[in-house]
Structure 1
Amino acid sequence: MRFVALLCLLLLGAPALAADKSTQQVFDKEIERKAVQAVVWGLPVVNYDLMRQEMLAKTPGKVGQVIYWGRPLDWRNQTLTPNPDALYFMVFFTTKDGPVVLDLPPAEDKASFNGNIVTAWQLPLEDAGLLGIDKGKGGKFVVLPPGYKEKLPDGFIPLQSEIYGGYMLFRSNLASHGDADVRASIDYGKKLKIYPLSASGNPPETVFSDVKDVLFDSTIKWDASFFENLNRVVQEEPWIVRDRVMIDQLKSLGIEKGKPFEPDQQMKSLLSKGMKDAQLLLEAKYDAGFPPFFSEKSRWTFPTYPDLIQAGGRGFDEENAYPVDHRGVAYSYAYIGLKRLGAGQFYSISIRDKDGREFDGRATYRLNVPPDVPVQQYWSVTAYDRQTHALIKNVSRASRSSQIPELAKNSDGSIDLFFGPKAPKGKEANWVPTDPKRKFELMFRAYGPTKEFFEKKWVLADVVRVDK
C-alpha cells in the first residue's frame, strides 16, 4: 500500500512539477529577450563607457583632462574604426558640478582640426573645426547640464545636453606622416583647453597625456560584463524621457537606479545567452550591408542607415522616429556622432569585393582610386579587422591616404592601392597589410567632400581580387 500511495503522490505532483518547469523556462526566455533588447538599446553608452574605463585603468588620463596619441594611430589603438591619418585628442567630461568649457583653437596657416562633441549616449551636440559650425574660427563651446537656465557670458557657445557625461574627439589634421608634420600637429592640438565655466576668468592649465604606446582596447566585449558597464551609466546619468520604457526592462535584469547590480549565477547565465544572441543579431544586420553609395550596385555603402543619420542630426527628437535598432548596429562597429555627416567628412564602407565575396586576409586585392578626388582636405582608405572592427593587430600600418607623398600614381593620375598579406612587387608604398588568419573590411574617408562628391560625378571603383 505504501508503494501505491507514493506512486499516486508522484503521479499527482507530476503535472505541477512540469508546469513549474515550463513556467520557469518562459521566465528565462523573457529575461534573455530583454537582455537582447538592452544590448541593442545600450550599445552607444556602453561603447562610451568602455573607452572611458580604458582611459582610467590604463593611462594617466582623467575625466576633465586630455589624452592624445602622439603619432598616427597604429594597431595598439583598439577602438572601433578609428582614423589612422589624423592625430587623435580625446576629452571625457561631466557637467555634474556645472557647465564645462571646451576652448578650441582657430585654424592656422598649416594647422586645423575636425572635432565632434557628443553626450555619453553619443548624441551629437556639435561639430567643430575647419569644417564645423565655427568654420575654423574655433570658439569656447560650453556643455550645459540638464535644466541649466543661467545666461552665459558673451562669446560662449552653448551646447545643451540631456545628461551629464560626454566626450569630444578632436582630430588634429596632418599635412603628412613625416616627423615634422606630426610634431606640428601635436603642438597645434595642445592649444585646446578644457575647464569649468566657473573658472573661465582664470582657467587652470589643461593636462595632456600621450597614450600612443598604450594597448587601448575598447572593442565590444560580447559577454555579461556588458551589463556592468550599462549599470554604471544608469547609476550616473538621469533618465531621458524617450528612454523611460527601459526602466522596468532593466529592472527585470537586476539594473535599477540607486541599487547595486548583483546578478546571481542563473541571471549571469541568462545575460550571457542574451548577449550572444544580440551579437549574432547585430552581426547579421551589419553583414546584410547598408544602402550602396556610388551607384545602385556599388560595394561601397553609406556608413550607416539613412534614418539614423537623420535622427542623429535632429537630436533623436522626431515625433515618429527613434531608430534604436539601427543605432545599435552602428555602435557595434564605430563610435562618435556627427551632427552634419557630409558637411565636414563622409565615410563609405566596403565589406565585399566586386564579386560579392568577403575580404579574405590571405588574398590580395586592388582598389583603383580615380584622379581628382573631390575633397577640400584629404582622402584615405583604412583596413579593419572584420570581427572586431578595430585596426588589424600586429601590422606595420593600417591605411594609405592622399597625405602620403610617396604613393605611386598611374599615367592617368589614378592610384592603385593593394591590400593583402604581402606587398606586390614594386608596390610597397601603395600597400596596406592584412592578417592571413583574419577577414577584413575597408573604410574610405573623404574630408571636406565637395558638391561633386555627392552628385556622384566622381565614382570610387569596387575592390578587385587579383589572385583568383
Structure 2
Amino acid sequence: MSSVDSGSPERAATHRRAVEAVMWGMPAVNYQMMYEASARTGGPGDNQIVFWPGLLDGHNQTLTPNPDVIYLMPFFTTKQVGPIVLEVPPAGDEGSLNGSIMNYWQVALEDIGPAGVDEGTGGRCLILPPDFDGEVPAGYLPLRSDTYQGYGLIRSVLRSGSAADIDQAIAYAHQIKLYPLAEVDDPPETDWVDASGSLFDAAIPYDLRFFQALDRTVQAEPFLHRDRVMINQLRSIGIQRGTPFAPGPELAEILTAAAADAQAWIDAEYEKVFHPFTPTARWALPALPELITATEANFEQPDAYPVDARGVAYSFAFFSSKHLGKGQFYLMTIADEDGKALDGANTYRLTVPADAPVTQYWSVTVYDRATHTLIRDAPRAGCSSQAENLTVNDDGSTDIYFGPTAPAGSGPNWVPTDPGGRFEALFRFYGPTSSLYDHTWRLPDIGQTPAAR
C-alpha cells in the first residue's frame, strides 16, 4: 500500500474504503466509460446503437474486444420512455448474431441469437424498467432489468473473412431495431452511430477520474438492495446521491493514491484467475467459478457476493453471458509454456491442432497487458480461422506466430506485438463443441521460437 494510509486513523480509513470502492464499483465504472465514449462519438448515448462497420482496430480501446466480428452496442435507458424494444432478426443464410443484453452492472438479462432467448428465430425483446408493473404484451420476449440503464454487446458473426462476407454481416446487423414500446405503432428510425475511425477510449482510469465516474454512476441509478451497505462507505469518500462530488486537495490525494493501490492489488489478483483449463496447460477461462455462478444468478445468492472476483474480471473485460459456454467460450493466457510472462519483444509460436472444436470459427487475439486493450498502432490484432490466405499445415493444424516482426513466410499467420511491453492472448471458440469440454481436443501452450530463447 502507499504511504497515504500511514497517517491519521481517519486518513487510513478513507484510503481503505476508497480501495474497496474501486473493487465494488468496477463493473459500473467500466460501463460508464463505454457509455461516455459512446456519447463522445455520437451524442447523448441514450437509446442508440453504436457500431463498427468493419473489423476493429486499435481505435477501439474497450477491454479485450473481439476484432473478428462486427460489433454493435445498443445503449438504452428506460427511465423516461418506459420499456424498450430490441428487434432481433432470425439467424439464417443472411447471418447470425451472438451476444447478450445487460443491466448497468453488466449482468446479463438474456443472451440473443441461436444460443439465446430467441433460439435463432429472431423476435422482439422487451427491456423492462425496474418499476414496471404492467402486463407484457403478447409476442414479446420480456427482459426484466433492475436498473434503468444498460447496454447490449452484439456480434454479427462472419461466414468468412472476405470483404463480401464482412459486408453481408454489416447489412444483416442493420436489421436490428431499437425503439420505445410506446412508439411501436409508428417506430422511429433506429439511431445508428458509426464509431469507426474515432478513438473509442473506455480503458479504466486508475486515478481521481475513477471516483468521478463512480459518482456519476451513483447519481444515475438508485442503489440496488444488495448494495445499500455501500451508501455510508461511499459517503465517507465524498460520494453521496444528490450531492455534488467535490473532493478537496487532501481527499483528492487520498483517492488518487487509493486508485493506484487498487490497481496494484487487482494486477496481483488477476494472475490468480488463471487456473488451468486442463491440468498441464497455461490457458484458463478468465473468470473464477464463483463469479460465473453469481453472475448467472444476478448476484442474488443468499450467502455469496464475490465483489473482489467481479472487480478483477471487469478490470480487463466487459460483457457477461447468461449461459456461458453455449454460444462462445474463452481461454486466456499471460504466460508461455515455461511460465514466463509473454513479452512483446520475443517471438512465439502457437500450434492450433486440427479439427478445432467449433461450429463457427476460432480466433486468437493479443492485448496490451498494461491496459487490456488492443495494441494501439498494430496493423492487426489477431488471427482467425476465417482469415483469408491463412496457411494450414498438411495435418490440418495451424501455426500462429506472435512477435514484433514477422518471421519469414508467416504472412497472415503472424500477429504483431509491441516490443516495449508485455501482452496477453485470448483464444475464442464460437459455437464450441463437446471435444473442448471433455478435453479430447487440447490447445497447447504458446512457446518461444528457438531464436527468442
Normalised by the length of structure 1, the TM-score is 0.93
1:408 is aligned to 2:391: yes
The count of corresponding residues between Structure 1 and Structure 2 is 446
- Matched residues in 2 for 1:203 and 1:425: separation? 55
Q: Which 4+ stretches in 1 moved above 2 angstroms?
A: 58-62, 287-290
- Matching residue of 1:356: 339
What residue in structure 1 maps to residue 302 of structure 2? 319
Q: Which residue of 1 aligns with 2:169?
A: 185
Aligned to 1:287: 271
Contact kept, 8 Å, 1:61 with 1:208, in 2: the verdict is no
Which of the numbers 183, 187, 199 marks the counterpart of 1:199? 183
The aligned counterpart of 2:434 is 451
Q: Could you say which residue in structure 1 is the equivalent of 2:205?
A: 221
Cα deviation for residue 439 of structure 1 reads 0.7
- CA 1:390–1:23 in structure 2 vs 1: closer, same or farther (change >3 Å)? closer
Is 1:248 aligned to residue 232 of structure 2? yes
2:212 counterpart SS class: helix
Residue 448 of structure 1 aligns to a residue in which SS? strand
Partner of 1:96: 79
Q: CA deviation at 1:23?
A: 11
Structure 1 residue 405, shift from structure 2 partner: 3.5
Asked which structure has the greater CA Rg, the reply is 1
* TM-aligned CA deviation for residue 289 of structure 1: 3.5
CA contact (8 A) 2:161 2:388 kept: no
Aligned counterpart, 1:306: 289
Aligned-partner Cα distance in 2 for 1:261–1:434: 40
Mapped contact 1:61–1:67 kept (Cα < 8 A): no
How far, CA to CA, are the matches of 2:395 and 2:109 in structure 1? Answer: 42
| Structure 2 unmatched runs, 5+ | none
How far did 1:438 drift? Answer: 1.3
Partner Cα separation in structure 1 for residue 285 and residue 412 of structure 2: 28
Shift of 1:322: 0.7
Structure 1: unaligned runs, 5 residues or longer = 1-21
* 1:75 partnered with 2:77: no
Would the alpha carbon gap of residues 361 and 24 (structure 1) be closer, same or farther in structure 2, given more than 3 Å must change? closer
The one-letter code sitting in structure 1 at the alignment partner of 2:143 is L
* Change in 2 beyond 3 A, CA 1:23/1:134: closer
In 2, the alpha carbon distance for the partners of 1:345 and 1:264 equals 47
- Is this contact kept in 2: 1:72–1:177, CA < 8 A? no
Aligned to 1:37: 20
Matched, 1:376 2:369: no
| Aligned pair partner of 1:155 in 117, 128, 139 | 139
Name the residue aligned to 2:417.
434
- Cα distance between partner residues in 1 of 2:134 and 2:339: 56
1:419 aligns with 2:397: no
In structure 1, the residue corresponding to 2:165 is in which secondary structure?
A: helix
1:45-56 correspondence to structure 2 within 5 Å: 45-56=28-39
Contact 2:94 2:172 in 1 (8 A): no
Distance in 2 (alpha carbons) for counterparts of 1:102 and 1:388: 32
Distance of 1:314 and 1:62 partners within structure 2? 28
What displacement does 1:341 show? 0.7
